[in-house]
Amino acid sequence: MAAQKINEALEHIAKAEKYLKTGFLKWKPDYDSAATEYGKAAVAFKNAKQFDQAREACLREAEAHENNKALFHAAKAYEQAGMMLKEMQRLPEAVQLIEKASMMYLENGTPDTAAIALERAGKLIENVSPEKAVQLYQQAASVFENEERLRQALEMLGKASRLLVRGRRY
Confidence of residue 36 (pLDDT cuts 50, 70, 90): very high
Q: Give per-residue pLDDT as tens, 92-148.
A: 999 999 999 999 999 999 999 999 999 999 999 998 999 999 999 999 999 999 989
Residues 111 and 57: their CA atoms lie apart, in Å, by: 26
Helices (H), the chain: 2-20, 31-47, 51-67, 71-87, 91-108, 111-125, 130-146, 150-166
CB-CB neighbours of 19 under 10 Å = 18
For the entire predicted model, the pTM comes to 0.89
Query: What DSSP designation does 89 have?
Result: T
Percent of the chain beyond pLDDT 70? 99
Task: Indicate whether 169 pLDDT > 80.
Answer: no
Average pLDDT for the chain = 92
Q: Give per-residue pLDDT as tens, 97-109.
A: 999 999 999 999 9
What pLDDT score does 170 carry? 58
Residues 63 and 17: their CA atoms lie apart, in Å, by: 13
